[in-house]
Structures are given as structure tokens and as C-alpha cells.
Amino acid sequence: MKYTELKEYYREKINNQKGMFFAFNKEQFEEGMQKIGLDIEKINQIAKIGGGGYILKSEVKNFNNLVKEQQSKIKEKMLNDYNFARGAIKYEMFNIEYCYNESDEEVLSILSLTFEDLEKNKKLTKVFLEAKKEYYNEVY
């Protein structure tokens, strides 16, 4: 499975999470509350999850478990499947426009990795450097 396929798999699971909606203004928030069957007065039953997302407080644990599962699966594949890792690194470099900020830390963070992970895994370090070189060859 490619990185983009794994991301899409979890995106669908997360977006189909029970009691969740996204809202970026008052009207969308009211529509979201209606969608999950709550009156606007029951706002105390809703938790913010970031990025404009809201979820029933009763579903926060399930949501957090799903996010942790996704991060764990990505990290596992990054550490054990170097074609997956190279593709993931390049994808995120393009996604964050790496050529402007050159933040290795940001790329690693998105992929649930740290510099310590690179230090412990020389093959992953090699793949990271190869992906960075390929990225720059494609950008410039």
C-alpha cells in the first residue's frame, strides 16, 4: 500500500466518525449540530478537534484511538518499508512546499517520526536523504 492510499483510507474512516462535523462559520456550525441530531443549546456535548472539526464528547475517545492507530501504522510502515517511506517523505515535502522552509522537523512530525528515529535507523536516514535529493531534482 502506498502512503497516499493509507492516508486516504484513514481520511475516510475519520471523516465517517460518528458525531463529527466540520464548521467554519456560525451557519455551518448550526447545520453540523443538526446533522448529528443536537440542538444548538446542547453545545456542551461537543468537543473541538482542531481544523474546524467538532465531535460529540462521547466519541472523543474513539476519535483519538483512530488517530493514534493511523500514526502508529504510518510510523510502522516508515520504519519497515523503504519504498513507502521514500514516497511518503517526498509527498509531504511537496505538500508543505519544503523548498521554502526546508523544515526536516515538520516533515518528520507529519510522518509521526523524530530525529531520534532517524538516528536509530540508518536505512531510514538514507531513504530520507535520497527522498530529499529526489525532491530537489524535481523542484529545481
Domain annotation covers residue 70: no
Instruction: Judge if 85 and 135 occupy the same domain.
Output: yes
Q: Exposure pattern of 104-132 as b/e (b: 16+ CB <10 Å)?
A: beebbebbbbeeebbeebeebeebbeebb
pLDDT tens digits for range 112-133: 899 999 999 999 999 999 999 9
pLDDT tens digits for range 40-94: 999 999 999 999 999 999 999 999 999 999 999 999 999 999 999 999 999 999 9
Instruction: Judge if 91 and 44 occupy the same domain.
Output: no
Query: Which structural domain range is residue 39 located in?
Result: 7-63
Domain annotation covers residue 92: yes
Q: Which residue has the cell 510502522?
A: 76
Instruction: Judge if 85 and 130 occupy the same domain.
Output: yes
Domain annotation covers residue 75: no
Mean pLDDT of the chain: 95
Domain annotation covers residue 113: yes
What's the pTM?
Answer: 0.83
Boundary-marking domain end, from 63, 94, 111: 63
